[in-house]
Structure 1
């Protein structure tokens, strides 16, 4: 039995690696042609171009692994079925679950590996890929300049909402800072605007600062206070602004969970719901490969002739497309607050995974 499992596993692994390499190669070729104008104009070194696409590999693997796994499943089982190997296995008394066990096990290991990769390697790889493209390929800024983060919005401590027009990480300077402080009912009780804010001696110093206090009906009470420079108590450090400004797709589950834990104080319920959906998707998305393999198994096993093979591939691709459509629909419903975040992220996996298991169990 172990010999048979190794044979099936090895055949599937060869097909999967081949498909994955093809997808990585095609992605890089397409991206190079898309960036060809910038490459010709800015003349980045070959080493930097190689480094750029080396950092892009984890992202490509995460995106293309499900389709590569589907094609490997259809090809491997289809070839075995047309060679009557599956009939021989069934005739020897093996159940359908014994035959497909290596594929199911591989799908689970693959999904688990992608999850670990997304938690550890991918966030750093995405950051470095964007950095190399910005500085060496597009050359949007000189390497010695302090590149600003623009239009930053952050929910912070003490029920505050921060808007930063420009934040310069190198000098810890903010241009155009607006702070909205809310009460327990989420009414704005004060507004602070500063033309400039600088982090000095572990505190924020605001320049050309105006402070407005609001009363009932969000009306300004009295005259605004003006300060040419003022030390203002802000819990967030420059590192906090940098960390919280990271796009959700560049966060791992720990970073995103920690960020969500801070949001209830600001009462941003809609934002909390959307981010909870994103958080649960970070656990469900890697297991798409596992579900796709389950969907491909019954289609591949029923193949008898080549014409039927192409038909089964088309049907399986169509079912996989429906899976992604349902995944997108449930995500939208979850972020709109119609569905619980956990169900929105895992609903399509549960529905199609259960359907695939039923079809496998009833495959003759």
Structure 2
């Protein structure tokens, strides 16, 4: 038995089933509570456009829930780990398993296996569902929960620079010379990046060169004059190819699509630190579920009647939440170039893997 990493088949299935039930119970609880709180602040904005009603609220819930599941699944695994191990400890089941000759790692093996399966499911779910939900929800929010343009490739909150000038749009649809920008703002800037002229238009299309604003309203800052025009061409140096690259939303792209985008940026010498860190984190993020049984294992061992079970559970929770804090901080550092992208995505994972193993070995093995 000591040479086997897993305990018996019956015990493995028993522990795995217990763990899975608690993971999904905690996840459902978190998602329901957070979704209810989200709706308290969002329902008014969703119902503001004329014609919006219950169907739009249900649509928002359908787009928001995948984001909540993706974000809080690792937290659910952590909390489920603590609940499962504390229950096993209180019922003296851990004592019975160790008395039967199982090591601490063998006790945790079914939980680690389950967490590995959850990590694979999480990665697949993120790629197939969450990225599409992110893209659609951002496009919908950009039009203030109105009608989303039907063209494919809709992107939201596009900001482009032409020298010191800035061209921004609520949505971008199409690609190449067929790009259409909506709710467009053109900020012409002078010395010291001070805005000297601002132009707003409902729509802009490619004018070869530049971008033709349709029925724009121009405001001269210096003279405080407002002028209505039929058309105006701006951004002569902005090509469709540049816009296609600059309007990328990494959260709305799959793993393979993001990889191709990074290659395109690197081919023209553009900075890719943020996207590369995001790309690596697409793998390390779901794998964080594997760490949770290890970090929470401190709650499994030690006699429940010693009075320290609650303290052990708090320590396990503190280790798990410390990982999430360090992971988010490292990813933020990697996004603006403070850390190399690979280090930003993977350093917290390996650091807390060593911490968890050290705590487990020194206390139980």
Q: Same fold by TM-score, threshold 0.5 exceeded?
A: yes
Shift of 1:172: 3.2
- When residues 125 and 313 of structure 1 are mapped into structure 2, their CA distance, relative to the original with a 3 A threshold, is same
In 2, distance between residues paired with 1:143 and 1:326?
37
Match of 2:23 among 9, 16, 19: 16
Matched, 1:84 2:81: no
What residue is the counterpart of 1:169 in the other structure? 173
What residue is the counterpart of 1:6 in the other structure? 13
Helix, strand or coil at the partner of 2:168? strand
Helix, strand or coil at the partner of 1:153? strand
Query: What do the CA deviations read for 1:196-222 (whole angstroms, capped 9, x no partner)?
Result: 97448xxx45478xxxxxxxxxxxxxx
TM-score norm. by structure 2 comes to: 0.73
- When residues 37 and 153 of structure 1 are mapped into structure 2, their CA distance, relative to the original with a 3 A threshold, is same
On the 8 A contact 2:131/2:254 being kept in 1, the answer is yes
In 2, distance between residues paired with 1:132 and 1:207?
24
Matched, 1:325 2:325: yes
What residue is the counterpart of 1:73 in the other structure? 81
Structure-to-structure mapping, 1:284-299, within 5 angstroms: 284-299=284-299
- When residues 281 and 235 of structure 1 are mapped into structure 2, their CA distance, relative to the original with a 3 A threshold, is same
| Structure 1 unaligned spans of 5+ | 179-194, 209-227
What residue is the counterpart of 1:353 in the other structure? 353
In 2, distance between residues paired with 1:112 and 1:145?
33
In 2, distance between residues paired with 1:276 and 1:267?
14
What residue is the counterpart of 2:281 in the other structure? 281
On the 8 A contact 1:198/1:205 being kept in 2, the answer is no
In 2, distance between residues paired with 1:276 and 1:362?
36
In 1, distance between residues paired with 2:262 and 2:106?
43
What residue is the counterpart of 2:257 in the other structure? 255
On the 8 A contact 1:56/1:125 being kept in 2, the answer is yes
Shift of 1:164: 3.8
What residue is the counterpart of 2:220 in the other structure? none
In 1, distance between residues paired with 2:106 and 2:56?
48
On the 8 A contact 1:154/1:244 being kept in 2, the answer is no
- When residues 76 and 350 of structure 1 are mapped into structure 2, their CA distance, relative to the original with a 3 A threshold, is same
Shift of 1:71: 1.3
On the 8 A contact 1:16/1:69 being kept in 2, the answer is yes
Q: Judge which range, 126-135 or 247-256, deviates more.
A: 126-135
TM-score norm. by structure 1 comes to: 0.73
- When residues 91 and 112 of structure 1 are mapped into structure 2, their CA distance, relative to the original with a 3 A threshold, is same
Shift of 1:312: 2.0
Aligned length: 315
Helix, strand or coil at the partner of 1:35? helix
Kindly report the root-mean-square deviation, in angstroms, between the aligned alpha carbons of the 2 structures: 3.8
Query: What do the CA deviations read for 1:299-346 (whole angstroms, capped 9, x no partner)?
Result: 333361495232222222222232223223333443454432211210
Query: What do the CA deviations read for 1:230-270 (whole angstroms, capped 9, x no partner)?
Result: xx998746xx84575242222222222212212234433xx
| Structure 2 unaligned spans of 5+ | 1-7, 188-200, 213-231
- When residues 47 and 265 of structure 1 are mapped into structure 2, their CA distance, relative to the original with a 3 A threshold, is same
